C-alpha cells in the first residue's frame, strides 16, 4: 500500500480514493463477517480520519488555494457546481440502470446549472435523494452488507470528480469506476430474489433477462455510432441540441469532408448550421467562429471584416476555458 497506492494516484487521480474504498470494506463488509472491528480496522479508520482532516485543512489554507483557482476559468461558482452535481449523480445513476441512447454523449455542457436549491426545481429532491441513498447504505449495512457496500462504492467513486473541485460539470467517463458499486448492489438484489420464492423470484428473473438483452443492445448501438465519426457527431448533435460542444464537433466533422468546399452543397450548409448554432449557444465560443471562417475559406467565400471583428471581440472579452 505504501508503494502501489501513491503510484496509482500519480497515474490516475481517482487512485487517491483507494483508502476510502478500503475503509468502506472494513466498516461494512468485513465488520459484518467478523462481528466487529479488529485492530487493523480501528487503526486504519483513525488514519483515514486524520488524513481527511489534514487534507481539508490544507485545501482551506493559503497553500491550498491553487486547488480553487480553476473556478476563475469556469462559467460557474463552487456553490453552483456542488448543487448541480447532486442532479448529475442521478443522471449517472440513470445511465447505469436505465441507459437510453439519446442520453449518451461525449459532451454534456447542455446540463443546466443549479443556481440554488429550487432552480431547477429538481435540485432539492436530488440532494435529498443522495442523502437518502447514504441513509439506505447505513440502514442495510447489517442486513445486506454487499448491497450497502455497493452504494457506498458509488458515492465514494464520485467523491473526487463530482464534488468541489473546479472540473467541468459532467463527463460519462467519471462513471466507469463508481458503476461497479451499483452492479454489485444489483447482483446482490438479484441473488436475493432468486433465493426467494413466488413473485420475488419471478420479478428478479424477468428483470435479469431484460437487462441481459437490453444492455448489450444499447451498447451495440452506441458502438455503431462510434464506428463513424460523422455518424456519431450528427446523432449526438441531434440528441443534444443545446450543447454548444456537440454542435461545434458536428460542424467540424462535416467541414472535413471534401463536399464542404462546395458552397451550394448540403454538407456545406449543414456544417454552417452546426457552427452557427454552437456560436449562439455559447457566446464565448471561439472554435465555432473559427470554424465558420475556415469553412468560408474552403468554399472560396471571402471572410468579412465583421467576422474578424467578432472573433477579435471574443478573444479579448472572454476567458479561455479549460477542459477536463
Give the pLDDT confidence of 213-266 residue by residue, as tens digits: 999 999 999 999 999 999 999 999 999 999 999 999 999 999 999 999 999 999
Query: Residue 173: which domain range?
Result: 74-194
pTM of the model: 0.91
Q: What would the pLDDT profile of 9-34 be if each residue is shown by its tens digit?
A: 899 888 989 989 999 999 999 999 88
Indicate the number of domains in the chain: 3
Helical axes 287-298 vs 244-255, angle rounded to 10°: 20
Tell me, yes or no, whether 182 lies in a domain.
Answer: yes
CB proximity list for 262: less than 8 A, separation 6 or greater: 268, 299
Tell me, yes or no, whether 254 lies in a domain.
Answer: yes
Is the same domain home to 45 and 80? Answer: no
How far apart, in Å, are the Cα atoms of 161 and each of 84, 262, 266, 324?
13, 44, 41, 10
Contact 260, 287 (CB under 8 A): no
Is the same domain home to 245 and 293? Answer: yes
Tell me, yes or no, whether 279 lies in a domain.
Answer: yes
Tell me, yes or no, whether 98 lies in a domain.
Answer: yes
Coil, strand or helix: which one is 116? Answer: strand
CB proximity list for 127: less than 8 A, separation 6 or greater: 83, 86, 117
**Distance from the Cα of residue 169 to its chain's centroid:** 7
Q: So what's the pLDDT on residue 308?
A: 86
Q: What is the CATH classification number for the domain harbouring 246?
A: 1.25.40
Amino acid at each position: 500500500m505504501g508503494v502501489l497506492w501513491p503510484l496509482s494516484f500519480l497515474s490516475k487521480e481517482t487512485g487517491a480514493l483507494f483508502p476510502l474504498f478500503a475503509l468502506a470494506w472494513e466498516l461494512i463488509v468485513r465488520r459484518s463477517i467478523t462481528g466487529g472491528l479488529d485492530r487493523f480496522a480501528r487503526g486504519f479508520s483513525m488514519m483515514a480520519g486524520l488524513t481527511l482532516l489534514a487534507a481539508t485543512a490544507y485545501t482551506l489554507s493559503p497553500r491550498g488555494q491553487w486547488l480553487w483557482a480553476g473556478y476563475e476559468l469556469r462559467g460557474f461558482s463552487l456553490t453552483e457546481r456542488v448543487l448541480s452535481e447532486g442532479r448529475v449523480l442521478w443522471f449517472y445513476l440513470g445511465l447505469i440502470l436505465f441507459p437510453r441512447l439519446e442520453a449518451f454523449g461525449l459532451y454534456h455542457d447542455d446540463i443546466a446549472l443549479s443556481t440554488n436549491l429550487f432552480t431547477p426545481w429538481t435540485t432539492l429532491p436530488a440532494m435529498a435523494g443522495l442523502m437518502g441513498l447514504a441513509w439506505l447504505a447505513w440502514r442495510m449495512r447489517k442486513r445486506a452488507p454487499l448491497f450497502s457496500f455497493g452504494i457506498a462504492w458509488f458515492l465514494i467513486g464520485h467523491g473526487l470528480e463530482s464534488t468541489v473541485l473546479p472540473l467541468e460539470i459532467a463527463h460519462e467517463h467519471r462513471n466507469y469506476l463508481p458503476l461497479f458499486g451499483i452492479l454489485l448492489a444489483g447482483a446482490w438484489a438479484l441473488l436475493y430474489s432468486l433465493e426467494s420464492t413466488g413473485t420475488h423470484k419471478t420479478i428478479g428473473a424477468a428483470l435479469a433477462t431484460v437487462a441481459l438483452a437490453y444492455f448489450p443492445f444499447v451498447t451495440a448501438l452506441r458502438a455503431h455510432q462510434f464506428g463513424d465519426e460523422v455518424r456519431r457527431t450528427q446523432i449526438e448533435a441531434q440528441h443534444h441540441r443545446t450543447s454548444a460542444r456537440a454542435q461545434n464537433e458536428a460542424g467540424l466533422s462535416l467541414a472535413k469532408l471534401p463536399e464542404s468546399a462546395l458552397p451550394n452543397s448540403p454538407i456545406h450548409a449543414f456544417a454552417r448550421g452546426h457552427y452557427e448554432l454552437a456560436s449562439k449557444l455559447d457566446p464565448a465560443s471561439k472554435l465555432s467562429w473559427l470554424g465558420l471562417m475556415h469553412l468560408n475559406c474552403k468554399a472560396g467565400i471571402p471572410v468579412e471584416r465583421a467576422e474578424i471583428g467578432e472573433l477579435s471581440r471574443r478573444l479579448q472579452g472572454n476567458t479561455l476555458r479549460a477542459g477536463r
